[in-house]
Structure 1
Amino acid sequence: MPHILIVEDETIIRSALRRLLERNQYQVSEAGSVQEAQERFSIPGFDLVVSDLRLPGAPGTELIKLAQGKPVLIMTSYASLRSAVDSMKMGAVDYIAKPFDHDEMLQAVSRILRERQEVRQAPSTPASTTGRGSEKTVDNSNGEIGIIGSCPAMQELYSKIRKVAPTDSNVLIQGESGTGKELVARALHNLSRRAKAPLISVNCAAIPESLIESELFGHEKGAFTGASAGRAGLVEAADGGTLFLDEIGELPLEAQARLLRVLQEGEIRRVGSVQSQKVDVRLIAATHRDLKSLAKVGQFREDLYYRLHVIALKLPALRERGSDVSEIARAFLLRQCTRMGRDGLHFAADAEQAIRHYAWPGNVRELENAIERAVILCENTAISAELLGIDIELDDLDDDDFPGLAAQASSTSLEPTEDLSLEDYFQHFVLEHQDHMTETELARKLGISRKCLWERRQRLGIPRRKTGATAD
C-alpha cells in the first residue's frame, strides 16, 4: 500500500485530504509544516509527498530536496499559480490548484505513483521531461497517442493527431466535458518537436476573472493593488513549449485581446508594462462550447476564433464510440485493481450490458469514476450494474433544477462533522449559504468561477433554489 505524506497547515483541508486518500486504499501520514514533517518522519521513506506551497516557516518546495528523489506534488491557489510552475522547475513532479475536487486529486496521485512504478520496472527507460500533464496513459492500444479506443471516429482522430503534432499550428479541440480533450493536447505535445519543453495546462474557467490576465501574461510591480513585485505569467512559463488553454470559451474579452497579440505577433506585454517581449509558444485550446456562435453574439472575439481554428479536432462523446466503451472499461478495471491490490475482479453480465447501453453523459470521466467506486465497494469478484451506480444515474440532467433531488438535498444535514470530505464540505457550504448569498458570492467564497460552481452543482446533484437571493 503506497504511503503518502500530507504537509498542510490548514487543519480542515489536511484532515479531509487524509480521509479521501485513506478511503482510496492509501496509507497516510500528516504534518502542519516542513519542520514538523522533519521532526516526526523520515521524509525519503514516503512514496509521495503532497504539500501546500505556502506553509508557516519554510515553503513546501523545501520538501523537494528533503524527499531525496521521491515525488513531491505541490498544492497551490491560483493566486500563486506562477510560483507553482517555478516549483516544478525546482523538481516538483506536478502541481494541483486549489480548490480541487476528489477526482482531480485522486487522478494526480494515481498517475504519479503509477509513473514511479513504471520507472522502477523499466529503469532503462528515460524519465519524461515534458512538464506538467505530459504523462502517457498505460493499457492503451495506440502506443504513442496514449488514448484507449479503436472505433472509426477515434482512428480518424489518431491520424489527424499524427499529422498535426509535428507542426506549430494552433489547434482547437472540441468535445463534451469528460471526453479526454487534455489527453489529445498531451499527445500533440508529446509527438511534437517541443516534447522536451514544458506543457503548461490552464483551466480558464477556474481562474477568477480578476486574476486571469496577470496569471497568463504576468504583471509589473505596482500594476495593481497587491502587486508588490513583478511576476512572469504562464505564457512565459510555456516559452519554447506548449500552452494548453482548457475551456477557452470562458476567457474574458480583455484577456482574449492579449492572447490574440501572442498569436499574431509572438510577443506578450505584462500587465502594467509598456515593454513587449518575444515568446515562442504553441497554443492548443479546448472547449465544449460553440465558439463560432459565441463570436456571432459578441461573447468571443471573431478574429481570435479564426486564429484558433487553424486545425479543429473533434472528440466524439463516449456514447458515439460503440465497442470502445467496453475496451475502456476493462482498461480502467485493470488499472484500479492493480492500484488497490484487488485480484480477479470482473464485470458481471448485467454490468457489461449496462456499460454498453448507458448514455454516459459524463463521458470517459464518469466511466472511470464509476469503476473506481465499484472496485472499492465490491465485496466478491463480480462487479454488478448496481455497484457501478448506473441504475440510479440514468437521467442526463441538463439544467439546474434537478427534479427528484430537491427533497434529498433539502433533508441533508447542514451541521459540519469531522468526517467531511472535500466534496462534502463543498455541498454543506452551498446548502447552508445559498438562501442568503448569490451565486457570484458563493463562487467567490469558494474561490471558484460561477461556471465551476454550476458544474459541481450538476455533478453532486445540488439543486439551485429559485429565490431572490440567488437570482443574480
Structure 2
Amino acid sequence: MPRILIVEDEDIIRSAVRKLLQHAGYDVADARSVEEAEREHEPDQFDLIISDLRLPGAAGTELINRAPNTPVLIMTSYASLRSAVDSMKMGAVEYIAKPFDHDEMLAAVENILASKAPSGQPGDRPDDRTDNGEGKDPAAIMYGECDAMQKVFSLIRKVAPTETTVLIQGESGTGKELAARALHLLSPRAAKPLISVNCAAIPESLIESELFGHEKGAFTGAVSARTGLIEAADGGSLFLDEIGELPAEAQARLLRVLQENEIRRVGSTQSRKVNVRMIAATHRNLKAMTRTGEFREDLYYRLNVMQIRIPPLRERQGDILGLAKRFLKRQGEKMGKPDLQLSPEAMRALERHRWPGNVRELENAIERATILCDGDVITPALLDLDSESHDEHIPETLVEGNNEQTRSRSGDAATDLSLEDYFQHFVLENQDRMSETELAQKLGISRKSLWERRQRLGIPRKKSGN
C-alpha cells in the first residue's frame, strides 16, 4: 500500500485530502508545515508527498530538496500558477490547481505512483493498474454510464495514444478539463506535465507573456526572463481551456506553434523548438466565430483535427442520479455524514431539473444539501432547485459573436431570478468604465465567476479597456 504525506496548513483542505486518499486505499500521514513534516515524519520514506505551495515557514517546494527520493505534487491556486510551473522546473513531478476536483486529484496521484513503479511492474495502488497507458481508462477519471458518454470514452481511448491535436467542445461545467486529463494520462506523454490554462482567466495584456514567456526588459516590470506555459509543457501536453477568448495576436502566435513547433518569447528575436501536444476546449461555436472575424479560420482548422463533444447533463438523463449519489457519498464522508440518502422526491427533482450549470451545478447542489441536512435524508427543499426549474436553458455553444438576441431570450427566461437580473444590469451599465477586476470586486465574486456568469447570460466581454 503506497504511503502518502500531505503537507497543508489549512485544516479543512488537509482533512479533506486525507479522507479522500484514505477512502481510496492509501496509507496517509499529514503535517501543517515543512518543519513539522521533518520533525514528526521522515518525508523521504513516503511514496508521494502532496504539498501546498505556500506554507508557514519554508515553502512547499523545499520538500523537493529535503526528500530527493520522493516525488512531490504541488497544490496551488490559479493565481500562483506561474510559481507552480517554476516549482516543476525545480523538480516537482506535477501540480494541481485549487479548487480541484476529487477525481482529478485521484487521477494525478495514480499517474505519479504509476510512473514511480519499476518498469514492467504493476504499481502498488488500490486498483492495481499497470503503469502504461493501456491500464488506464477515461471511466476512471470521468463518470458516465449513458450511451453519449460511452461514445466519448471510446473516442478518447482511440485518440489519446496519438499526437493529434484535439478540440473539446461542451458547455461550462460539463467536464472538459477532465477529458483533457484523460487524453494526457492515456498518452505516451503521461509521465510529462499537463499544463492547464484558462485563457479567459488571464488578463488580455498578460496572455502572450504567460503563454510564450518573455525576456528581461521586454516590457515594464519584466525584471528577469521567464519561461512561458507552452515551454513549460515541453514533452507533455498543453490544455488551453476557453480558447475562443484568446486575443487576435495571441491566436497568430499560437498558430505558429502548431505549424512550426516553435515559440518566440516576448522581446526575443530567437525561436525555440518545443514538443507539445495541444488540447483545446471551448463552449463557443468557433466556426461561427471565424465568419465574424473573432477567431482565425486557419487556427480553427489547425485545432479541429479531432473533435470531442462533451454532452450537457440534460442529455445524460441516465447519469444524473449516478453522479448525484457519487457526489453525496463523497460529501457525506468529507463532512462526517456517511449515511446520507436521497429521498424519492429529491431523486425525481434531480431528474426533472434542466441543469444549466451541468455537472458543476449538480455537485454544488449536493454539497449545499449535505451542509444543510440535519438528518439522514436529503429532501427537495434542501436541494433548492425550484427557483430554476422553469428556466429555459439557452445553449452557450450557439453564441456567434452578436449576443443581443441570446441576451434578450436569457433575460425573458429568467424574469424571476432577481440576482441574475441584478448581475446582468450591473455589468451592462458599468463594463464600459470598469475593468473585469473592478466589476468582480463590486459584485463580490471572483474574476472566474464573473466570466462564467457572462457566458451563461450571453453578455460579451468588452475587450478594450480590460
Q: Name the TM-score, length of structure 2 as normaliser.
A: 0.72
The one-letter code of the counterpart of 1:311 is: M
Percent identity over the alignment is 51
CA spacing shift, 1:324–1:76, aligned 2, 3 Å = closer
Of the three residues 431, 434, 438, the one matched with 1:442 is 438
Equivalent position amino acid for 1:381 in 2? D
Residue 122 (1) aligns with residue 137 (2): no
In the alignment, structure 1 residue 94 sits paired with structure 2 residue 99: no
Distance 1:228 1:448 in 2: 31
Moved more, 185-194 or 309-318: 185-194
- 1:444–1:197 CA distance, 2 compared to 1 (3 A): same
2:244 is aligned to: 249
1:20 to partner: Cα distance = 8.1
Q: Which residue identity lines up with residue 81 of structure 2 in the other structure?
A: L
Q: Deviations over 1:343-372 (max 9, x none)?
A: 332211001111111111111111112222
1:415 match: none
Which residue is 1:320 aligned to? 315
- 1:170 paired residue number: 165
Alpha-carbon contact 1:319-1:360 (below 8 Å) kept: yes
Task: Summarize the Cα distance change of 1:408–1:442 in structure 2 as closer, same or farther, 3 Å threshold.
Answer: same
After superposition, the C-alpha distances for 1:192-222 in whole angstroms (9 at most, x for unaligned) are 2222221111111111111111111111111
Distance in 1 of aligned mates of 2:13 and 2:257: 40
Deviation at 1:332, TM superposition (A): 2.1
3-state secondary structure, aligned to 2:317: coil
Structure 2 unaligned runs (5+)?
Answer: 20-29, 114-122, 395-406, 460-464
- The 2-side partners of 1:408 and 1:264 are apart by 43
Structure 1 equivalent of residue 351 of structure 2: 356
**What residue in structure 1 maps to residue 235 of structure 2?**
240
Q: Per-residue displacement from partner, 1:237-266 (whole Å, max 9, x unpaired)?
A: 111111110000111111111110000011
- Using structure 1 for the length normalisation, give the TM-score: 0.71
Equivalent residue number for residue 118 of structure 2? none
Within a 5 Å distance, the mapping from 1:72-221 to structure 2 comes to 73-75=74-76, 78=79, 81-89=81-89, 90-91=91-92, 94-96=95-97, 104-105=98-99, 107=101, 111=105, 115=109, 122=125, 125=128, 146-221=141-216
| Compared CA separation, residues 277 and 200, structure 1 to 2 (3 A) | same
Q: Which amino acid aligns with 1:453?
A: L
Q: Is the 8 A contact 1:21 1:106 kept in 2?
A: no
| Contact kept? 1:256, 1:304, Cα under 8 Å | yes
Equivalent-residue separation in structure 2 for 1:291 and 1:310 (angstroms): 13
User: For 1:289 and 1:370, how far apart are their aligned partners in 2?
Assistant: 25
Distance 1:211 1:51 in 2: 25
Q: Which amino acid aligns with 1:440?
A: E
Asked if 2 retains the 8 angstrom alpha-carbon contact of 1:351 and 1:388, the reply is yes
Q: Which moved more, 1:190-199 or 1:271-280?
A: 190-199
- For each residue in 1:80-127, what CA deviation from the matched residue of structure 2 results, as whole angstroms up to 9, or x when unmatched? 63331231353375243xxxxxxx5263699369958x9798379589
Ranked by relative contact order (alpha carbons within 8 Å, sequence separation 6 or more), the top structure is 1
Distance 1:347 1:128, change over 3 A: farther
Aligned to 2:295: 300
On the 8 A contact 2:172/2:452 being kept in 1, the answer is no
| CA pair 74-44 structure 1, distance change in 2 beyond 3 A | farther
Match of residue 26 from structure 2: none
Quick one: distance in 1 between partners of 2:233 and 2:73?
21
Kindly provide the amino acid, as one letter, of the partner of residue 91 in structure 1: A
Note if 1:369 corresponds to 2:357.
no
2:332 pairs with one of 337, 351, 365: 337
> Could you tell me which amino acid in structure 1 is paired with residue 141 of structure 2?
G
User: Counterpart of 1:241 in structure 2: which amino acid?
Assistant: G
Judge conservation of contact 1:61–1:92 (CA < 8 Å) in 2. Answer: no
Indicate conservation of the 8 Å contact 1:213/1:271, yes or no: yes
1:3-29 deviation line (CA, Å, top 9, x unaligned): 97655xxxxxxxxx6678889998xx9
Query: Does the Cα contact within 8 Å between 1:360 and 1:366 map onto a contact in 2?
Result: yes
Deviation digits for residues 414-472 of structure 1 (CA, Å, limit 9, x no counterpart): xxxxxxxxxxxxx9xx99xx79972535158699996752425899x9xx9xxxxxx99
| 8 Å Cα contact 1:48-1:113 kept in structure 2 | no
Is 1:453 the counterpart of 2:447? The answer is no
Three-state SS of the structure 2 residue aligned to 1:243 is: strand
SS of residue paired to 1:326: helix
Tell me the secondary structure at the aligned position of residue 281 of structure 2.
strand
| CA positional deviation for 1:298 | 1.1
Range moving further from structure 2, 372-381 or 444-453: 444-453
Residues 227, 105 of structure 1: alpha-carbon distance in 2 compared, 3 angstrom cutoff:
same
Query: For residue 151 of structure 1, what is the amino acid of its counterpart?
Result: C
Q: Is 1:205–1:452's contact at 8 Å kept on the other side of the alignment?
A: no
Mark the CA change 1:435 to 1:201 in structure 2 (over 3 Å): closer, same or farther.
closer
**RMSD between aligned alpha carbons?**
4.6
Q: Higher mean Cα deviation, 187-196 or 168-177?
A: 187-196
Closer, same or farther in 2 for the Cα pair 1:393/1:311, shift >3 Å? Answer: same
Q: Aligned equivalents of 2:104 and 2:279: distance in 1?
A: 25
More displaced 10-residue stretch of structure 1: 258-267 or 185-194:
185-194
* Partners of 2:96 and 2:167 in 1: CA distance: 24
202-211 or 105-114: which moved more? 105-114
Q: Secondary structure at the match of 1:94?
A: strand
Contact conserved, 2:139 with 2:153, CA < 8 A, in 1? no
Matches of 2:108 and 2:177, distance apart in 1: 18
Mind listing any 5+ residue stretches in structure 1 that lack a counterpart?
8-16, 97-103, 131-135, 137-141, 411-426, 465-470
CA distance 1:367–1:128, change in 2 (3 Å): farther
Partner of 2:266: 271
* Preserved contact between residue 165 and residue 277 of structure 2 (Cα < 8 Å): yes
Q: Give the conservation status (yes or no) of the 8 Å contact 2:77–2:99.
A: no
**Residue 73 of structure 1: how far off its partner (Å):** 3.9
On the 8 A contact 1:292/1:305 being kept in 2, the answer is yes
The aligned length equals 410
